[in-house]
Amino acid sequence: MTTNNCFIAFQNNVSLVIENVGEVPVVNPRIVINDRGNWYTFDSLLAEFTRGATTDQEKAYLIWQRMRENLYHQEPLYENAEPHDPVRLFNIFGFNLCDDAGNSGCSLLYHAGLTGSKNRALHGHVQCEAFVDGRFQFLDVDMDCFYLDRENEYPVGGEQLSRDHDLARRELNYGPVVERFVSSDRIAAMFGRDDRRYDARIRGHEIAYMLRPGERVIFRWDNIGKYPAENAERARRPRYFGNSKFVFEPRLLPKAVSTEAFAAKALVPPRPADASGVKLLGSSADAALVYQIKVPYTICGGTVRAEFVGREAGDRFSVALSLDGKTWTELWQHDGTGRHSAEVSLDDALQVHRSPAKYRYFVRVGPGSAGTNPTAGLVSLEIETDVLAAPFALPRLRVGTNRVVYWDATDAPHRVRVTHQWKESDAVQPLPPPKRPNRPEPNAELRESIVKFSWPAVKGAERYHLQVSRRPDFAYPYRTSFDVIIPTTYWSVPITGLFSPQVTYYWRLRCRDHWGVWGPWSEPWRFTWRGPRVPVALRYEQQGQTLVLRWQPNPRGERPVKYEVYGSDEKGFSIHKTEHEVTGRGKVPGNFLGETTETSMVVVSPTATAPNTNKVFYRVVAIDAHGTASGPSDFFELPHPFIYSAPVTEARVGRPYQYQIKSLRSLGDYQCRQDPDFKQKKYAYRFWDVEQNEFRLLVGPDWLKMDRTSGLLSGQPGPDDLGKTLVIVEARTQFGGRARQEFVLVVRD
């Protein structure tokens, strides 16, 4: 169970019944098994999700992890804020889209003490940003991802991701069930400078209810196909959901009716000698008994079962329903003598596919007597309410020893019966994990630019779950690129710099057979990685029309002996030495510029001919004496436009003069934005900010002309143009960028 994967191989829990078998109401009966599932209130849910956290950073990680392992991705039944309350989301629904997870996650983070936490709205996506130690961290519950910084230390926020899409590309989204690593290009495109933040702090719902004498709740892990919805359009069956029941069999005794019924009119007890089984008699034609049904789970149906007895032909019996206790809908009527059995579906009258979500209704039964004598009798009444209850939130038993804790908020002596139904199966023997990996070997010290994991095949295994963590208890993964469920006995991510020196990493494996049954985890193995960290302090120096890129080695990690430099006009580009596919551009050449042992390189020059010189954006990779590469540095952005061509400073009378001006220009980055061709919401992916240089001749002789599009400065001087003249040209972009070049042009005979 993860946000984007939901597969149930075998469910051994069938039902859990809590029944009031005493004489007083039982308030808020609750069960927690094996210290999991105390999600009845916001505070208890939050306490469980953050259990064991000693820092704000651990709180953020644990909230993200607990959310992703108890939700799956599914179109919500309500478009409004109904699933935005965390208690509702986890206990009732168990599935979400991005805004549901984002709003709930933001509320949990905020109330956990991370008070600056916000929701971030992208084009086509919404998710929570934890505010930890003065930094925003984009923690994506819906897409199973967070994004580490260049030093692999902390998750970054949306601002960093919108600036540098490469940070998003190197992480795995929509896991953990994957066939191979896929770069998150389209996810990266959702981050942009026009994103917005807003508060989300919804809380308040509780799984709070009262069981009256004769009332029971039946929690079930299966369903009967019922689910509520905001409207008929949203009434789409979820992939995995549960239907539980509240069943009330009222004690039809005058004293009990006076305390437990919502209303009663013209009801009297039968004579002691009455052997018909009648519990109450109606003493008038409008005799009625009303019960309120109030539950903490969203109602999706119900049934009323009642037995009546009539002694007069004019006796009339009825069942009615009201959503507010005032306006009633008659659902069933019978009249006459003898016994009358009613089994009435409430599904349509409850309007379960119409907003708002229902948590309360009223049932009225009428034993209306024809005359002044009480002749119409009520023998029995049962009100059954079907609700939506997420199976993953229910208190479940597991194989082995279980610790079950029950409590309630009832002060008076009371009696409760709890029954848990469970089914055993020994049809499948779970597979053992690999005993020992191939690589990394236990306690290995790795000097690899790209870390490769492999292990011997386990007979019968169809999938393997690989997890890497910086914690030996694997409370949350190191990064989602290394928390994967795969069909192969090997895994690697083809990106350098995903591990850091002076850090101990733990990893483990488990196996799944073709039935979908998981075996136990292996013992954790550990390894360390040695290599350089990313270069830092990138800057440039200008020497005329030449720009020199400079940087410093990272003060931490292995000492580099050389560096690789990469350049591109694409903002947030990812490094590649060979031809590769870029979303939105197709196949493009590699962006490798060159290698140097120095901490500087000429990257822009009028005389440069090497591929990937004269680009706007540059990254640097450090390589140590063992050939181990760091990840790419943060990109450095050179000024643009910037005229880097050397001017032609001499012209001849009567001869054509030409100077082709060249300027840096940015392609921007691949972005998802609202399509301007549509008034309704429609997203389009493209390079929206491709710069268009417009060239102008600001100062110069009349015989010189500028092609504003190509930047070709040309003309032919005449005899009267001999001598020196000042020329000023300008390149400007549609975004307000400007660059000038001045030179003296000499016209000779």
Per-residue confidence (pLDDT) for residue 276, from 0 to 100: 86
The CATH number covering residue 311 comes to 2.60.120.260
- Indicate whether 190 and 329 sit together in one domain: no
d(CA 284, CA 300): 34
Are both 168 and 103 inside the same structural domain?
A: yes
Query: Widest CA span of the chain, in angstroms?
Result: 137
The dihedral built from the CA positions of residue 407, 410, 412 and 416, taken in this order, carries a sign that is negative
User: Containing H/E element for 86?
Assistant: helix 86-88
Alpha-carbon distance of 331 to 310, in angstroms, equals 19
The answer as to whether 531 is a domain residue is no
Q: Please state the φ and ψ torsions of residue 17, each to the nearest 5 degrees.
A: -110, 130
Residue 343 lies in a domain: yes
The predicted-structure confidence for 213-256, as pLDDT tens digits, reads as follows 999 999 999 999 999 999 999 999 999 999 999 999 999 999 99
pLDDT mean by block of 10 residues, the chain; 749 residues: 72 97 98 98 98 98 97 92 96 95 97 97 95 97 96 97 97 92 93 93 97 98 97 94 98 95 96 87 97 99 98 97 98 97 98 96 98 94 99 95 98 98 92 97 98 98 98 98 97 97 98 95 98 98 96 97 99 98 96 98 96 98 98 98 98 98 98 91 94 98 98 97 97 97 97
Q: Rounded CA gap, 553 and 537, in Å?
A: 8
Shared domain for 407 and 269, answered yes or no, is yes
3-state secondary structure of 422: strand
- Of 734, 643, 631, which Cα lies nearest the Cα of 689? 734
Is residue 32 in a domain? no
In degrees and rounded to multiples of 5, residue 104 shows phi and psi of -65, -45
Distance in angstroms (rounded) separating the CA atoms of residues 577 and 554: 23
Give the C-alpha separation, 593 to 601, whole Å: 10
Neighbours of 199 (CB within 10 A): 12
Parallel, antiparallel, or unpaired for β 210-211 and 694-699?
unpaired
209 touches 295 (CB < 8 A): yes
DSSP annotation of 427 reads S
**Residue of 344, 336, 290 lying closest to 317 (CA atoms):** 336
229 and 369 co-located in one domain:
yes
One-letter amino acid for residue 258 of the chain:
S
C-alpha–C-alpha distance, residues 492 and 486, integer Å: 11
| Residues whose CB falls within 8 Å of the CB of residue 740, separated by 6 or more in sequence, listed in order | 643, 698, 728, 729, 730
359 shares a domain with 215: yes
**Angstrom distance (rounded) from CA 438 to CA 447:** 16
Q: Which of 502, 525, 548 is the last residue of a domain?
A: 525
Q: Which two tokens stand for residue 23?
A: 């004489």
Same domain for 345 and 280: yes
Count of positions (residues) in the chain: 749
Strands 444-446 and 525-529: parallel
Give the type of residue at 48: E
CB 449 within 8 A of CB 496: yes
φ and ψ at residue 188, rounded to 5 degrees = -60, -35
CA distance 673 to 688: 8
Residues 586 and 670 in one domain: no
The DSSP element (H or E) to which 56 belongs, if any, is helix 56-68
Of the residues 135, 166, 198, which one is the last residue of a structural domain? Answer: 198
For residue 10, being part of any structural domain is answered with: no
| Backbone conformation region of residue 212, classed left if phi is above 0, alpha if psi is from -120 to 50, else beta | beta
Beta bridge partners of 543: 546
Nearest to 189 by CA among 217, 215, 225, 164: 164
Whether residues 562 and 480 fall in one domain:
no
Per-residue model confidence (pLDDT) at position 737: 97
Task: Pull the structure tokens for residue 431.
Answer: 């597979």
Kindly state whether residues 623 and 659 are assigned to the same domain: no
Residue 429 lies in a domain: no
pTM: 0.94
Q: Which of 440, 376, 382 is nearest to 247 (CA)?
A: 382
How far apart CA 332 and CA 143 sit, in angstroms, is 48
Same domain, 617 and 566: yes
Domain region containing 591? 536-636
For the chain, percent helix, then strand, then coil, each to nearest 5?
Answer: 10, 40, 50
Please check whether residue 68 is in contact with residue 141, taking contact to mean a CB–CB distance below 8 angstroms.
yes
Q: Tell which residue, 462, 460, 461, 505, has the closest CA to residue 481.
A: 505
Query: Residue 485 sits in a domain of what CATH number?
Result: 2.60.40.10
Say how far apart CA 463 and CA 178 lie, in whole Å: 10
Provide the 8-state DSSP code for 570: B
Q: Read out DSSP for 355-397? A: SSPP-EEEEEEEEE-SSSS--EEEEEEEEEEEEE--GGGS---
Angstrom distance (rounded) from CA 315 to CA 378: 12
∠ CA(438), CA(177), CA(457), 5° rounding?
25
Flag whether 430 is in a domain. no
CA quadruple 327, 330, 335, 338: dihedral positive or negative? negative
Residue 216 placed within a domain:
yes
Number of domains in the chain: 5
Residue 310: count other Cβ atoms within 10 Å of its Cβ: 23
Three-state SS for 44? helix
pLDDT at position 667: 98
Classify burial at 539, counting beta carbons within 10 Å of its beta carbon; exposed 0-12, middle 13-18, buried 19 or more.
Answer: exposed
CATH number of domain containing 135: 3.10.620
Nearest residue to 532 (alpha-carbon basis) of 602, 633, 440: 633
Helix or strand or coil: residue 100?
Answer: helix
Residues 374 and 258 in one domain: yes
Does residue 401 sit in the same domain as residue 301?
yes
Asked whether residue 22 is assigned to any structural domain, the reply reads no
DSSP calls for 219-263: EESS--S----SSGGG----SS--EEEEEE----SHHHHHHH-SE
Contacts of 564 (CB under 8 A, 6+ apart): 592, 594, 595, 620, 621, 623, 629
pLDDT of residue 581: 94
